[in-house]
Amino acid sequence: MGQSLEEIAQKLKSTDKKVQLIYAFNGTGKTRLSREFKELVAPKNIEGDEDAEDEQGIKVLYYNAFTEDLFYWDNDLDADVNRKLIIRPNGFTDLVLQVLREQGLDGNIISNFQHYTSNKLTPRFNEDYSEITFSMERGNDELIENIKISKGEESNLIWCVFYSLLEQVVEVLNIPELENRPTNTFNDLQFVLIDDPVSSLDENHLIELAVNLAELIKKTSNLKFVISTHNPLFYNVLYNELGNKVCYMLNKFEDGTYELVEKKGDSNKSFSYHHFLKQTIQEAVDTNSIEKYHFTLLRNLYEKTANFLGYPQWSELLPDDKQTYYNRVIQFTSHSTLSNEVVAEPTEPEKQIVKFLLKHLVDSKYWQEKIEEENVTV
């Protein structure tokens, strides 16, 4: 029998493990679960301030889609010159601004941001830390001021704001004597909730982010962490880096209820990720609804299968007689840099390639003998 998200949030709140790691496919309800958890730990006050804490102090810090919504652009539509990212006032951002003013975290935020993007791209906070502008350094040392950054860079910046705050929190809470702490703001903090940080990062930076987060978690003994993600790589790195954890998969039923199933092992061994991808592509083939993104899913399926079977290159699983050709087709279609010029509807020959390569993989002896067998025994 399924449960409500509120019931699952209560289960997460009552668990004694230091880290609870949750995997869920996109659209399952991770963000809504994170919101239910936040409301359970720190309900809204009667005045309706969504993030105000009660008299006992701050109990939870969280990063999710709602956190990103607290940052929005003023594009200066009249003059098209002074573009800036505005920080919307609320409980979380007020806390960030307080710590920025008291501890001077803007240097840490800038350093973290440039590490994951470019050292030529610089965010600058205004005097009261309510606005952020960006400049780009050119090769001739000339600065392009007040530029608008990409959505991925914006998401990266917001994560760096949260992460820099979290670094400061851990440092403060590691001081055992309350009277010696530079601030008492975090004395009642119990939980840190993180939902899918910076999905726009490439694999190398995503791994680094996960490792850095794991190292920070290891430094504290007085906080509990709930981390949810749809990214199997991010999940696997945290799974291998962290101890004192419990791992789950969040599933949603057709009636709108949910289940939180404890899992052992990484995503390949516990979540049948290969089968989810196969099912998604097969449904598109069966209903003749193949779109361009199914090439990305197909590539992902080949990559995960090759990794699971121990092949160094996913292209080794392609048909021997046209391995190079199909490799180029999938590479170009799934990683096209001209995405704004590519329509979602592929041509009929492209649809046939998806259909053929899916059938080639799942009909192979490797899939039949290894993948299916593993799925039965897990």
Instruction: Please give, one letter per residue, the 3-state secondary structure of 180-222.
Output: HCCCCCCCCCCEEEEECCCCCCCHHHHHHHHHHHHHHHHCCCC
Q: Tell me the domain boundaries of the chain.
A: 5-270, 273-377
Task: For domain 5-270, give its CATH number from 3.40.50.300, 3.40.462.20, 3.40.50.720, 1.10.3720.10.
Answer: 3.40.50.300
Which pLDDT does position 46 carry in this prediction? Answer: 41
For residue 243, how many C-alpha atoms fall within 13 Å in the half-sphere facing its CB?
Answer: 4
* Cβ proximity of 212 and 201 under 8 Å: no
* Cβ proximity of 248 and 6 under 8 Å: no
* Cβ proximity of 93 and 70 under 8 Å: yes
The pLDDT tens digits for 39-76 are 999 887 544 444 444 445 789 999 998 898 999 999 98
How would you list the strands of the sheet with 19-23, edge to edge?
60-63, 191-195, 224-229, 19-23, 245-252, 258-262
Which pLDDT does position 6 carry in this prediction? Answer: 95
Rounded distance between C-alpha atoms, residue 98 and residue 104, angstroms: 10
Give mean pLDDT in consecutive 10-residue pieces for the chain, a chain of 378 residues: 92 95 87 93 62 62 90 88 90 84 87 92 91 88 89 93 94 94 91 87 86 95 93 89 93 89 77 74 87 80 79 81 65 47 68 88 72 51
What residues have CB less than 8 Å from 33, skipping those under 6 apart?
A: 5, 8, 9, 22, 228, 250, 258
Which pLDDT does position 366 carry in this prediction? Answer: 63
Which pLDDT does position 339 carry in this prediction? Answer: 40
The pLDDT tens digits for 161-172 are 999 999 999 999
Which pLDDT does position 55 carry in this prediction? Answer: 44
Which pLDDT does position 51 carry in this prediction? Answer: 46
- What's the pTM value of the predicted model, to 2 decimals? 0.74
Strand pairing partners for 121? Answer: 136
Which pLDDT does position 338 carry in this prediction? Answer: 37
